[in-house]
Amino acid sequence: MTKDEKYIQRCLDLASKGLGSVAPNPLVGSVIVHNDRIIGEGYHKAFGGPHAEVNAIASVKETSLLPQSTLYVNLEPCSHFGKTPPCSDLIIRKGIKRVVIGSVDPFDIVTGKGIARLRNHGCEVSVGILKSQCQAINKRFFTFHEKKRPFVILKWAQTADGFIDTLRPPGSDLRPAWITSENLRILVHKWRSEEPAIMVGTHTALADNPRLNVREWAGKQPLRIVVDRQLKLPRKLHLLDNRLETLVLNERLDKKEQQTTFLKMPFEKDLVSLSHVMHYLYERGIQSVLVEGGQRLIQSFVAQGLWDEARVFSGPQFFGEGVKAPVIKPSNLSHVIIGNEGFFWFKNYLNY
Helix (H, G, I), strand (E, B) or coil at 92: helix
Where does the chain have alpha helices with state H? 3-15, 52-58, 87-93, 113-120, 131-137, 139-147, 182-194, 202-208, 274-283, 295-303
**Distance in angstroms (rounded) separating the CA atoms of residues 310 and 4:** 33
Asked whether the predicted pLDDT for residue 85 surpasses 90, the reply is no
Chain centroid, CA 140 distance in Å: 5
How does residue 171 score in pLDDT terms, banded at 50, 70 and 90? low
Catalytic residue, candidates 41, 53, 194, 195: 53
pLDDT at 178: 80
Helix (H, G, I), strand (E, B) or coil at 65: helix
Q: What does the pLDDT look like over 21-42, one tens digit per residue?
A: 999 999 999 999 999 999 999 9
Asked whether the predicted pLDDT for residue 111 surpasses 80, the reply is yes
Nearest to 339 by CA among 319, 315, 318: 315
**Distance in angstroms (rounded) separating the CA atoms of residues 61 and 79:** 25
Q: 85-89, 126-130, 237-241: which range is least confident on average?
A: 85-89
pLDDT at 329: 80
CB 151 within 8 A of CB 313: no
Q: What does the pLDDT look like over 241-251, one tens digit per residue?
A: 999 999 999 99
pLDDT (mean) for 158-181? 82
pLDDT (mean) for 193-208? 95
Beta strands in 14-140 (DSSP E): 29-34, 37-43, 70-75, 98-103, 124-127
Query: What percentage of the chain carries pLDDT values higher than 70?
Result: 97
pLDDT at 341: 87
pLDDT (mean) for 191-215? 95
Under DSSP, the state recorded for 171 is T
Whether residue 53 lies in the annotated active site: yes
Q: Quote the pTM value.
A: 0.92
Q: Which long-range contacts (CB under 8 A, 24 or more apart) does 274-280 make?
A: 274/300, 274/301, 274/304, 274/306, 275/304, 275/306, 277/225, 277/249, 278/149, 278/150, 278/306, 279/148, 279/149
- What are the backbone dihedrals phi and psi of residue 153, each rounded to the nearest 5 degrees, phi first? -115, 120
pLDDT at 170: 63
Asked whether the predicted pLDDT for residue 298 surpasses 90, the reply is yes
pLDDT at 318: 92
Q: How many CB atoms lie within 10 A of CB 65?
A: 16
pLDDT at 352: 65
Q: What does the pLDDT look like over 35-76, one tens digit per residue?
A: 999 999 999 999 999 999 999 999 999 999 999 999 999 999
Q: What is the CA radius of gyration of the chain?
A: 23
**Distance in angstroms (rounded) separating the CA atoms of residues 237 and 239:** 5
Task: Give the angle subtended at the CA of 226 by the CAs of 220 and 229, to the nearest 5°.
Answer: 160
